[in-house]
Amino acid sequence: MTTTPLHYQTITELAALIRKGEITCVELARHFIARINRFEDTLNAYRLLCMESTIDRAKAADRALKEGGDHGPLQGIPYAVKDLIDVKGLATTAGARILEQHIAAEDAAVIRRLEQAGMVLLGKTNTVQFAFSGVGINHDHGTPHNPWSETHCLPGGSSSGSGVAVAAGLVPMALGTDTGGSVRVPAALCGTAGLKTTVGRVSRAGVYPLSWSLDSVGVLARSVEDAALVYQRMQGADINDDSTLGRSPQDVLKNLKSSVKGMRLAFAETIFFDDIHPEVDTAVRACGDVFKDLGAEVTRIEFSEAAQAIQLNPGGVFIASEGYTLNKKWLEENFDQLDPVVAQRMIKGKDITAADYLGNMLASKRLRAKVYNVLKDIDALLVPTTCVPAKPVAEVDTDIDTYLNHNTMYLRNTNIGNTLNLCGLSVPCGFTKAGLPIGLLIYGKPFQEEVILNIGYAFQQITDWHRNTPDLSWLGDA
């Protein structure tokens, strides 16, 4: 029997407790509500909570199980969603006060699918304004507090609240979105698993957009298995997001626990390891030995395409182009009411010419085709998720140049995968001497989520990094 506190148990473990009758769905929901009430004032993970409907959903899950209606391991499990994702009757603010009356008329597609699986929504998590930053700072709603340090350190962004909520045991799983690293960066800095899906795998209908070319919906969870369970239910075609049409869902659970013996994994040396913190370098390199012990073939390759990807999207300017188009009303009419850093970055998108934008899109397509050929004999790439661990917010948020330099640094390795449309999985792989998490990023070819989840699951079977939990004694947590 596990001695792990209830709030730090995985979805699989919680599902087993529910089915053994050791806890009801209502009791589980109330446990997380109590924990949120205890720590939320400091951690600032949530934008809003829906506690009354949470208990109603939990009661419905208990009732269904009692009547023989078992919809699988997600039934009765609490979850949270990034405040870009529509929940009927709740505001979707995208991290901006000026959108606090933007009430969703319908649930997003991913919400409907998780509700059908019987999950229990706790609330919506804080995000960077318009999801346009990798450090996780929000000057409008406040910046969530990374639970691994009493000093207010970066949570990573833009799915900042989701990363903090999962890491601190305020929820077992939370949804995020990823346009340049916004699932994987907070996963790495907060010590959780973070799955970035290929564009076209999960419907974005009902998700506040930043970039129609690069946006994807992903999962932050306590384990790779948990991420796989959630992804399995979220994926699939949706007429309201044409990127998902014409592609059959994949069964990622079928081979999740298969051996990775004989798989070909490679450390991608170009760009990814440049200017890396030495403790991050050591931790990520050590993962090669873990995979060798599992029977995988681990090599190193030069991957010049990474540098080419960065050149195609310097500083996120082409994301800014689409972001400006989508948020033109707010930028032109309410500029002074927006987060100044986000607004100054995004409004530059209007200066990008159509010729430059279209030329970049064409070059991206050609580069993606080239990469697929380069990786034809490789199952996955191994790189650091971020090249440095979480820094104090006060050190980063001093002036706009310092902020932007750090933003570029934290997003560098993840942004490459978005430009190339790779799927990616960040898993905890160590800690610095200061006790801050380090993330390993497993990159797979487009639409091969089942491969990276299989690799990540195998890694977590013989490592315990994901079992570590933050010491919240500074908040009075025993």
Asked if residue 1 belongs to a domain, the reply is no
Identify the band that residue 478 occupies on the pLDDT scale cut at 50, 70 and 90: low
Q: How far apart are CA 361 and CA 365, in angstroms?
A: 6
What is the tens place of the pLDDT at every residue in 244-283?
999 889 999 999 999 999 999 999 998 999 999 999 999 9
Using the 8-state DSSP alphabet, how is residue 197 labeled?
Answer: P
CATH number of the domain to which 273 belongs = 3.90.1300.10
Cα separation of 413 and 180, whole Å? 9
Q: Is residue 304 part of a domain?
A: yes
Pick the closest to residue 432 from 390, 477, 464 (CA basis): 390
Average pLDDT across the chain, whole number: 96
295 pLDDT higher than 60: yes
Query: Using CA atoms, how far apart are residues 76 and 29, in angstroms rounded to an integer?
Result: 8
Q: Please report which confidence band the pLDDT of residue 317 belongs to, taking 50, 70 and 90 as the band edges.
A: confident
275, burial (CB in 10 Å: exposed 0-12, middle 13-18, buried 19+): exposed
Polymer length of the chain:
478
The answer to whether 274 touches 241, Cβ cutoff 8 Å, is no
Cα 444 to chain centroid distance, Å, stands at: 16
- Percent pLDDT > 90 in the chain is 96
pLDDT tens-digit readout, 379-406: 999 999 999 999 999 999 999 999 999 9
Cite the active site residues: 82, 158, 182
Q: Quick one: pLDDT at residue 267?
A: 98
Tokens representing residue 203 in the block: 């419907």
Residues 6 or more apart whose CB falls under 8 angstroms from that of 17 comprise 9, 23, 28
Q: What pLDDT is stored for residue 318 in this prediction?
A: 77
For the chain, percent of residues with pLDDT exceeding 70: 99
pLDDT of residue 1: 44
Among 139, 143, 133, 79, residue whose Cα is nearest residue 111 = 79
**The total number of structural domains that make up the chain:** 1
DSSP 8-state secondary structure symbol assigned to residue 355: H
* Residue 108 identity (one-letter amino acid): A
Name the residue with tokens 């913190």.
277
What per-residue confidence (pLDDT) applies to 313? 80
Angstrom distance (rounded) from CA 77 to CA 10: 10
Section 334-347 average pLDDT: 95
DSSP 315: G
Peptide bond into 248 cis (omega under 30): no
* Confidence tier at 314 by pLDDT (50, 70, 90): confident
Torsion angle defined by CA atoms of residues 39, 44, 47 and 50, in that order, rounded to the nearest 10 degrees: 0
299 has which bridge partners? 266
Which residue type is seen at 218? G
Question: Around Cβ 347, how many Cβ atoms within 10 Å?
Answer: 18
Which residues constitute the domain of residue 37? Answer: 6-471
Has residue 446 got a pLDDT over 60? yes
Alpha-helical runs (H) found in 176-316: 184-190, 224-234, 278-293, 305-312
163, 360 contact by CB (below 8 A): no
- Per-residue pLDDT of 171-201, as tens digits, reads 999 999 999 999 999 999 999 999 999 999 9
CA dihedral 107, 113, 115, 116 (to 10 degrees): 130
**Confidence at residue 3, expressed as pLDDT on a 0 to 100 scale:** 84
Q: Is residue 476 in a domain?
A: no
Assigned domain for 478 exists: no
Whether residue 31 has pLDDT greater than 80: yes
- Helix (H) and strand (E) counts for the chain? 16, 11
Asked whether residue 318 is domain-assigned, the answer is yes
Domain membership flag for residue 259: yes
* pLDDT tens, residue by residue, 111-141: 999 999 999 999 999 999 999 999 999 999 9
Least confident of 195-204, 350-359, 417-426: 350-359
Among the listed residues 343, 387, 298, the one whose alpha carbon sits nearest the alpha carbon of residue 132: 343
- Band (pLDDT 50/70/90 cuts) for residue 95 is very high
DSSP state of 198: P
Q: Which residue from 85, 128, 86, 98 is spatially nearest to 319, judged by alpha carbons?
A: 128
